[in-house]
Structure 1
Amino acid sequence: MRSILCAFLLPFVVAASLAAQTAGSIFATPSVPMRGAPVTLMLSATSLPAGGVRWDFGDGQVQSGGTVTNHVYAAAGFYAVRATYVPFSAQLPVTALLQLHVSQPTGPAAPFLLSALRLRWEDGRTDQSVDRGFTPLVAYVDLKFEGTGLLQAQWTVDGVPLGTFAVQLAFANTARLDTRNMLPLPTTEPGEHLVSLRILSPQVTFTVPTIRYFVRQSAQEPPRVDAVLPAVLARGQDVEVQLRGSGLVKGVKVSFGRGVALVAPLRFTGPGQATARIFVSPTAREGQRKVHVVGPSGRSEGPATLQIVRVVPET
C-alpha cells in the first residue's frame, strides 16, 4: 500500500520541485528598506517571463509590470513579496517569494550608493590585445560604495548584455568583481570591442567608463609607426606629416592623442608608408607623445613620438 501511495505522489513531488527550481529569486535594494522610503525589487529567474510579472507586495497592493519594480511601504513590519509569471518555456505560472523586513527609521542611516567605479583588465590597463579565439579574457571592476545594499548590474560587450547579476555589498567598503561568472568575453570577431558595466541599481550619478580589447586576425604583429616627420610641431599648426613603419595598410587608424586631430583620411603612399594631415589645437598639451596605431591585428604605441611645442624653433 505504501509503495502504491509513493508512486501516486511522486509525480506531484517532482512537479513541485521543478516549479520551485524555476520560480527564481527576488532581490531587494536596500535589503532592509525603511518605512516611507522606496525599495527596488528585482526578479532573477533562470527562465525569463514570457509576458508580464504580477507583483504582490504583501501589504494589500498589487502591480503588473516587468522584472524590476519599485514600492513604498507605509508601515514597518514583515511582508511576503510575491512575483508571479509564466516562464518562457512553460505554460503554467510560477511564483517567487521574498520575506521582506521593512524597518522603522530610528536615526540617520547611510544610503547605499556607489562612490567610485573603475574598469580594467588584469594588468590594470584599459585596453588589451588578444589573438582570435583567446580564452579566458576577464574584465574587472573595482568598486567603492557607501552603506549596505544590493548591486544589480550587467556586463556588456559592444552594448549587448552578457547577463544580469546581483551582489550584496555591506558596510561602506570596497569590492572587486569580474566577468568569470558570466558568459565568456567573445574573441571570435576580429577588431575593436568595448566592455562596460550597466548599473541597474543603485542609481549612479556618474558616467560608467568603458574599456577596450582588440581581437587580432592572427598571431601577426600589430601595425606600428617607427618614425614621423616632422617630429616637432607647434600649437595651432595645420600640416602634413609622413609616417613610416610596418603594417600601415588601408583600414589602419592612427591617433596622436588629445589636442591633435586628423583633418583628412590617411593616404597610403607605399609599403609601410602613409601621409596624415593633422591639426594641432592651440591648447594642446606640450611635450612628447607616442603615436597610437589600431589595425585588424591589434594595437601598438610608438616607438615613434611626436613633440608638441609652443613655437617651432627656427633652424
Structure 2
Amino acid sequence: MMSLQFATVAHASRFSPPPKHSFHSIKGRSTAGKRTVGMPNAGGFSSPPRAMPKACLAGAAASADAVENAVEEAMMPKHVAIIMDGNGKWAKDRKLAAGDGHRAGWKNLTTLISKCCELRIETLTIFAFSNDSKRSQMEEDLMMRSTENYIRTDVKELITRHGILFSMIGNKSRLPVSLQSSISWAEETSKGNKGMNLVMAANYSGRDDVVQATKKISSKVERGVLRAADIDQTMFEQELMTNTLESPNPDLLIRTNGELGISGFLLWQLAYTEFYFVDKLFPDFGEDDLRQALASYGCRQRRYGQRKN
C-alpha cells in the first residue's frame, strides 16, 4: 500500500517539524467511499525494524538542526522522484511571462540536483512534462525550447561538475528533432559516468509505459521466445522504460504546488513509494524544503505490503 504525506501549516507533528510545517499521513484505505486521514498523533508505520532517528522522537519542539540530523541519521532514499509543479502559477502570481516561470523552475532544479549529488542520492527522476497535458501550441513550443536550452546549458555543466549520468524516459520520437539531438548528446556524453543518475521524464505517460512493456512481452510470446506462463513481475519490470536503473522504483516522490495526484507518473514504479506533497510552487521549493522531505522519509517505517505489527 502506498502511504501519502503532505505538508500543512500551523500544526504540531509527530515527526520532526520545521518551523512552518507538519505532516499528516493519508492511507489509501476506503471507508464508505472516503479516504481515511491519519492525524499527527495516529499510530506509526511498521516495517522491517530500523532505528528511529532521534529527531523523529523530538516532538513539536524539534529545531531545524534536528531536522537536518534526521536526514543525516536516517536511511537516505536511493531514488527520489519529483513532479515539478507550479512554474506557470509562480510566473502568473508575479505578473511575469510563462517563460520566466519555466526558467525559474529550471534554475531551481539545478540547485536541487547539486544538493542531491552532495547527499549521495543515487537516482533523481524529474517529471519535466507528460504527453497528455492540455497546452496551447505556443505553450508547447515554449516548453520544448526551454527543455532543450536546459539540457544544453545546465545539464552540460552538471555532467562536468558532478559526473552525473543523464537519461530520458518517454516518447522521444514525438519531440522536436533539435530536442531529440540534445537529449542524445547528453546521454552519450555522460555515458559511463559514476555520479548520480539524472532521469528526465519528457513526453512521458505511465500508462504508455505499461502498454509498451506489454506489447514487448506479447511479441516475445507470439514469436515463441517466451511462454505466457513464465511472465512475472520481474520480467515485466525489465520491459519498462526505467529498466536500465539499478533502483527503478522511487523510494520517495515529492510533488509541489499542493496537488495530491501523480498525473500518470511512473504508475507501476510507484507501488510502494512514500509520497510527500507540499504547497510551495516548484521555483520556491529550496534546499531546506528538500531536507525536510528527506527527514520526513527518514521518519517513516515502510511495510512493502506487510501487515502492521
Q: Same fold by TM-score, threshold 0.5 exceeded?
A: no
* Larger radius of gyration between Structure 1 and Structure 2: 1
Question: Which of the pair is proportionally richer in strand?
Answer: 1
The alignment's TM-score, normalised by the length of structure 2, stands at 0.17
Structure number with higher relative contact order (C-alpha < 8 Å, ≥ 6 residues apart): 2
Question: Which of the pair is proportionally richer in helix?
Answer: 2
The alignment's TM-score, normalised by the length of structure 1, stands at 0.16
